[in-house]
Chains A and B, each alone.
Chain A
């Protein structure tokens, strides 16, 4: 079966603007807020949101860090592959900051659970929120919900949500793929 298009280029663009506006509504000038893109797939979305905030909404400075959760995951030795790490780049203090986690798809919630543990190595944030482009709402294993969501998707477990970004795949689009 051919993949079903969940979001096309234009829809992704509209949603990114909406998410940026929702962030501004809550965080105003971002002076005490930091964005944290989750490796590996969340970093494109995080970079886009940051660029939008600066270029289209005239914010002077938005801090963006990248967080790798590999060593904090709960499926070490449970999957067949060795979990390969990505780089973590957080060159500012998290202490007392308002943190916004950014990831492309929220599925079981386990990555977010790992990220919540991982971020503690960098200090104690005053609060943590979650922004996600796609929320697969009936697939959660843990009580974790997004604060900002692009689109809610009802996908069953043998379906896969694929998010493509211009930077890595040449187009902005989201597909639903049947395995």
Chain B
């Protein structure tokens, strides 16, 4: 097994566990590369990649762009704010226009679930989903799972709780798929209003009490409260959310064991986690960011090797 079973990275749902293993093994090599004095390899020097961001992003976009540059790919960036999308152009037209510039790979973030999958059926380029609405965010799940593997040696048998806004979170769904494929036990925890109705059908435990969840887990992945996706109020106030679901130093100290804290960023300091927790030795938030570059290099390297000359 030395090739991905897929031609695009649309979601973790479409991957096999062996694909994840291959991505992780490749990322191990790239992690060494990005820690050398010269952090660049020439592998993708004849590949052009378009980053299409139809939705705001800072770190994912930066991480992808850095990964592309480390692989020596040519990169073009596109953000919907400054484009013809606001003039009414359709997605396929926009992308086809960009592809006429001989682009080999497209990294896309889009507010609509399924946008990446739709694109992969209509255009001839490798597609990487960098987040499609509340559906999937596969590279984030890969880097989260990779960070757990890095800290614990393996993911199998680990207990991971995903805390917060499960309903609006593409990170949660992709994480559930990735963790389960790698053999972890997954629990979701949050207020009932932010819990999708049939979430237990995915084979995850559901808990509304944060302390119970934290006592059960080895790792807690704290999701951001996504105010921008909430048209109505899902909880009475941010302050009340913090009191029930915010992780503080006092909460961590009340647990029987030391758990690991993860956060996909950007952090609302003082909401999901306090500054003390975010900056503590138990948090691996900055490792996640570094691993994000290695994981994205691995994904693009493996997908690019499928583009025939």
Residues of A within 8 A of B (CB): 68, 70-72, 76-78, 81-85, 87-88, 117, 120-123
- Which of B31-39, B52-60, B134-142, B177-185 lies at the interface with chain A? B31-39
- B42 lies within 8 A of chain A by Cβ: yes
Main secondary structure of the interface of B (DSSP, over half): loop
Can you give 30 contacting A-B residue pairs, CB < 8 Å? A70-B29, A71-B29, A71-B33, A71-B41, A71-B42, A71-B301, A72-B42, A72-B43, A76-B44, A76-B304, A77-B304, A77-B305, A77-B308, A81-B2, A81-B3, A82-B2, A82-B3, A82-B302, A82-B305, A83-B305, A84-B2, A85-B29, A88-B32, A117-B42, A120-B38, A121-B39, A121-B41, A122-B37, A122-B38, A123-B37
User: Which chain B residues numbered 212 to 235 have a C-beta less than 8 Å away from chain A?
Assistant: none
Q: What separation, in Å, do the CA atoms of A33 and B209 have in the docked complex?
A: 62
Q: What separation, in Å, do the CA atoms of A71 and B26 have in the docked complex?
A: 11
Q: Which of chain B's residues has its CB closest to A120's CB?
A: B38
Q: A72-B41, A84-B2, A122-B37 are in contact. Are A77 and B307 (CB under 8 A)?
A: yes
* A122 and B43 contacting across the interface, CB-CB below 8 Å: no
Contacts of A76 in B (CB 8 A): 43-44, 304-305
Q: What separation, in Å, do the CA atoms of A176 and B42 have in the docked complex?
A: 34
Chain B interface extent, by class: 20 to 34
Distance between B136 CB and nearest chain A CB, rounded to angstroms: 24
Q: What separation, in Å, do the CA atoms of A80 and B275 have in the docked complex?
A: 50
Residues of B within 8 A of A (CB): 2-3, 26, 29, 32-33, 36-44, 46, 301-302, 304-309
* A71 and B43 contacting across the interface, CB-CB below 8 Å: yes
Q: What separation, in Å, do the CA atoms of A29 and B41 have in the docked complex?
A: 34
Distance between A44 CB and nearest chain B CB, rounded to angstroms: 21
* A78 and B3 contacting across the interface, CB-CB below 8 Å: no
Q: Which of chain A's residues has its CB closest to B44's CB?
A: A76
Q: What separation, in Å, do the CA atoms of A70 and B32 have in the docked complex?
A: 13
Contacts of A77 in B (CB 8 A): 46, 304-305, 307-309
Q: What separation, in Å, do the CA atoms of A83 and B298 have in the docked complex?
A: 12
A-B pairs with the 5 shortest C-beta distances?
A71-B41, A121-B38, A85-B29, A82-B305, A71-B43
